[in-house]
Structure 1
Amino acid sequence: KMTLTDAISVLRAVEVARPNSTYELVIRTAMSRGAPIPTGRINLPREAKPRKEYRILVFAEGRQADEARRVGAHVVGGLDLVEAVAEGKHNNCTTILCTTSLIRSISTKLGRILGPRGLMPSERRGTVTDDIEGYVQRLQGTTEWRGDKTGTIRMPIGKMHFPVEDVVKNVKQFVLNVKRATGNLKDAVAEAEAKAQKGKNKINAITRILLSSTQAPGIQIKDI
Structure 2
Amino acid sequence: MKETKFKKALGTLDEDKSYSTEEALELILKQPKRKFQETVDISVWLGIDPKKSEQNIRGSLTLPNSLGKEVKVAAFVDSDKADEAKKGGADFVGLDDLIEKYKDGNIDFDVAVTTPAQMKVVSKLAKVLGPKGLMPSPKSGTVTENIDKAVKEIKHGQVRFKAEQEGIVQGTIANVNMKKAQLIENFDSFINELKRLKPASSKGIYFKSVFLSTTMGPGYRIDTSQF
Q: Who is 2:226 aligned against?
A: 223
Contact 1:3 1:223 in 2 (8 A): no
CA offsets 1:24-65 (integer angstroms, 9 cap, x no match): 5443212242122433223244x6xx5332221112113211
Q: Who is 1:113 aligned against?
A: 128
Q: Who is 1:82 aligned against?
A: 99
Q: Who is 2:210 aligned against?
A: 210
Q: Who is 2:58 aligned against?
A: 38
1:51 partner SS: coil
Q: Who is 2:120 aligned against?
A: 104
Change (3 A) 1:206 1:66: same
Contact 2:20 2:222 in 1 (8 A): no
> Counterparts in 2 of 1:1-224, with a 5 A limit?
4=20, 7-8=23-24, 12=27, 18=31, 20=33, 25-32=42-49, 33-34=52-53, 35-45=55-65, 51-88=68-105, 91-107=107-123, 109-146=124-161, 147-155=163-171, 165-180=181-196, 182-183=197-198, 206-213=206-213, 214-215=217-218, 217-224=220-227
Contact 1:44 1:173 in 2 (8 A): yes
CA offsets 1:122-164 (integer angstroms, 9 cap, x no match): 3333322211111001111124142433222345666889776
RMSD, matched Cα = 3.7
TM-score (norm 1): 0.68
**One-letter amino acid matched to 2:226:** D
2:189 partner SS: helix
Contact 2:45 2:167 in 1 (8 A): yes
Whole-angstrom distance in 2 between the partners of 1:40 and 1:24: 15
Contact 2:159 2:173 in 1 (8 A): no
2:107 partner SS: coil
Percent identical among aligned pairs is 23
What is the CA distance between 1:74 and its match in structure 2?
A: 1.5
Whole-angstrom distance in 2 between the partners of 1:27 and 1:113: 28
Structure 2: stretches of 5+ with no match in the other structure: 1-16
